[in-house]
Chains A and B, each alone.
Chain A
Amino acid sequence: MSGSEPLLRVEGLEKYYESESDFIDRLLGRQKEVKAVDGVSFEINEGETLGLVGESGCGKSSIGRSVLRLREPTAGSVYFKGQDITTLSDSELRDLRKEMQIIFQNPQSSLNPRLTVNDIIGEALDIHGIEGGVSRDARIKELLERVGLNASHANRYPHEFSGGQLQRIGIARALAVDPGFIVCDEPVSALDVSVQAQILNLLEDLQDELGIAYLFIAHDLSVVEHIADQIAVMYLGKIAEIGTPEELFAPPQHPYTEALLSAIPEPDPLWEGDRILLEGSVPSPIDPPSGCKFHTRCPRVIPPSDYEFEQEEWRAVMSLRHRAREADIAVETFDAEGAELTAALREELDLPSALSDPEAEQVVQEALRSVADEAFADAERLLSETFETPCTTDEPVLRRTDAGRVACHLFDPAYENGASDGTAAGDGPTTSDGTSAGSAPSGGD
């Protein structure tokens, strides 16, 4: 990272969608917002690759499209070569399209089936009036050969090519306008292993030769590790951790990064790494969890310092709290009453028959009684008020650690001794981000 302005700088990017609604809802303005991207900042230098990883629905594709203004960002700025492109007019934007391009995940649907390869690549040249006449054909030929295709196939239609070849055509189309920056939206996810390696190598060769910067979006951490200079791990619209691959894979790690990494199946039959199995699936972005968005699945939620918890017990209590919040406990299906019912609930929730801390045990018992009466709100309130943890109340910000920047309270000195002091977050993070402008997303709303 040099001191000069990076090629692309994204600051506090937000993209909200309106959830599905019908005519009447629209008339009455009764719509819910889906926070697909919720305050994301990063930068990409010339000729560098930023990998963006996350599970489906984390907002990584929305970022790719918003950065190019293929979808209008809800808020935030995108500076390309120092110019804020979110303020550009349509015609200014059209000129900028020459410099920013995109390649897609699905090669079948990213090429118009009714146009020949010649037309597909030629369209890019025509729009920007780049080459005409004989030199147009020559340029198309050159582009096809550059991406490793037989130039004599220019008059064929997309359905005549294999997936890997189609992806090469898509890359040729993006290259046609000679861009300095390309968003690669899962470009190899739909390809076979050997073809995937070919395309990754091609992308790297192009970067070396033409100095193109990539925003490389993928769900596969091993692919991103291979190609990226910087990796950002996303969870529910926010960046959980960002850093170089070495930093990312070295501790300290965001618990989500840790879990994501551990879940990748290693192509080595003798590998026996520890799996961190996350519970459940990603919560809905319509109604995301408060505080740290990962706390509902996090195996390392900070326990309250006033009570003594075993990690397992604490996890079970959190799970009880989460399910009380969602009212997701089918009390009526347990064929029991009174003490038997609470015992059954304990079993269902993996709670030990008695917590090690007697005070905490009392609270949990009371909460379980509320649950047994199906008073979920009471149980939830009781648990959240008694067992206060910053993970559910304060949103963590990205702060610099020994390895990369991590958005997790575990690495916040204010919470080093547990969660007794719930006021520290937010006011004056103890870190400075050095040259990285637009340090941390400060939470959308």
Chain B
Amino acid sequence: MAMLEVQDLNVRFYTDDGVVKATDDLSYRIEAGERFGVVGESGAGKSVTSLALMRLIDEPGVIESGEIRFKGENILEMDEEEMRSLRGNEIAMIFQDAGTALNPSYTVGEQISEAIRYHLGLDEAAARERAIETLESVGIPSAAERYSDYPHEFSGGMQQRVVIAIALSCDPDLIIADEPTTALDVTIEAQILELLEDVATEFDTAIQLITHDLGVVAEFCDRVMVMYAGHPVEMAPVEDVYYDPQHPYTVGLMSSIPRIGDDRDRLQTIPGRMPDLIEMPPGCNFHPRCPYAEESCTRVEPRLVDVETGDPADPINSDAQTAACLAHTGELTGELDYEVTVQGEDAPTESGPASGTSTGANDR
């Protein structure tokens, strides 16, 4: 049994304009110590999954059905008391905007030790000691002195470290990181990712990383779920997703990132835009943007299947690469005729900028 198992989760938002299916029969699992990535563009339903795990979905959102089993217990059946002791203690969250995640009128130390006192029942002095230790472990220099500083006295990167420290303070088993580096500069992002990687290894914490940045996922995650319009369209170990994507949307995403060293002139794009979740295209949600779509795609809604066997996927028990495209169940007459090539293997020494000879600098 995995540490976290999400089964057939349905979250709906009842808005004035209509019912939004934020997630639709979503299933996945996270093993202890695993780093699980959730990728997608804005509006794909990424953040909803994390809020559902913490049962923090607000009106007009409703968890309609499904199970979220954390260490075998269904979170959705817990009472408020159990839920409170779970939040922050066993499952912690890191937000995108550290500036607003911290309360400006308390010192960072108070904010950390508050969680420690509440969840671990330590007295004030012990909580303070542990808070300082945690601050040190996230790389805040002179932690004891900075304990009594207010959030605004920290830079953006340091604030995010404090948020991570709060998340770590009670030694959780799962950290949900929702775009933790999006608001940060790239050099700071590198620091924070390294820190997350270190603490995940050190404390053996599982991390669900939600992001739109394919670079961050490639670097950080073991397994990835690609989401489109509330559905997972592909779920696989990270290498498979990058080197052998099996869903046209994943392929489109992979081809539209500008990569350093790729000197092709135009970026490939995915035409159009994501449908709003109220009025979805029939059949496969992606078909209006998909170059491989056929008539059958407008009729049949593809399910997540094992790409090799075509059998319905079992994301809870299996690690196989799965994708939700009719091409894998033989219902598509054409095929997905894209190609992924890896430079330097088939055709060695394609000139990337790193190896490119620098011309033009001297002859001017």
Contacts and interface: CB of A to CB of B under 8 A. Distances in A.
Interface string B327-364: 00000000000000000000000000110101111101
B253 A402 contact: no
Given A220-B186, A225-B260, A434-B364, A265 B142 contact: no
B254 interface: yes
B237 to A, nearest CB: 9
Nearest to B356: A246
- Highest count of chain A CB atoms <10 Å: which of B219, B274, B359: B219
B158 interface: yes
Given A260-B186, A281-B157, A328-B141, A246 B353 contact: yes
Given A245-B353, A269-B242, A281-B157, A197 B267 contact: yes
Given A277-B191, A281-B156, A435-B364, A268 B218 contact: yes
Contact of B41 (A56, A192, A333): A192
Contacts of A267: 214-215, 217-218, 242, 254, 257, 259
A261 to B, nearest CB: 7
B218 A264 contact: no
Interface in B199-223: 212-219
A194 B189 CA distance: 22
B297 interface: no
Interface residues of A, number: 62
B239 A249 contact: no
A305 interface: no
B358 A247 contact: yes
B156 A55 contact: no
Contact of B364 (A1, A55, A221, A248): A1
B157 A249 contact: no
Contacts of A261: 260
A422 interface: no
Nearest to B183: A56
Interface residues of B, number: 59
A192 B212 contact: yes
Contacts of A243: 361
B187 A330 contact: no
A114 interface: no
Given A265-B216, A265-B219, A329-B142, A194 B260 contact: no
A221 B186 contact: yes
A278 B265 CA distance: 32
- Is chain B's binding surface mostly helix, strand, loop or mixed? loop
B65 interface: no
A403 interface: yes
Interface string A169-202: 0000000000000000000000011111110110
A424 interface: no
Given A194-B253, A226-B258, A281-B155, A55 B185 contact: yes
A269 B39 CA distance: 14
A261 B216 CA distance: 14
Contact of B188 (A220, A221, A245, A281): A281
B270 interface: yes
Contacts of A31: none
A55 B185 CA distance: 6
- Highest count of chain B CB atoms <10 Å: which of A163, A250, A271: A250
Contacts of A275: 190, 194
Q: Which 8 A-B pairs have the closest CB atoms?
A: A265-B215, A330-B145, A249-B353, A197-B256, A192-B41, A263-B190, A333-B144, A55-B185
Given A194-B256, A403-B358, A265 B218 contact: yes
A403 B41 contact: no
A269 to B, nearest CB: 5
Given A1-B364, A245-B353, A225 B142 contact: no
B185 A269 contact: no
A367 B283 CA distance: 72
A264 B191 contact: no
A225 B258 contact: yes
Contacts of A348: 141-142
Contacts of B270: 194, 197
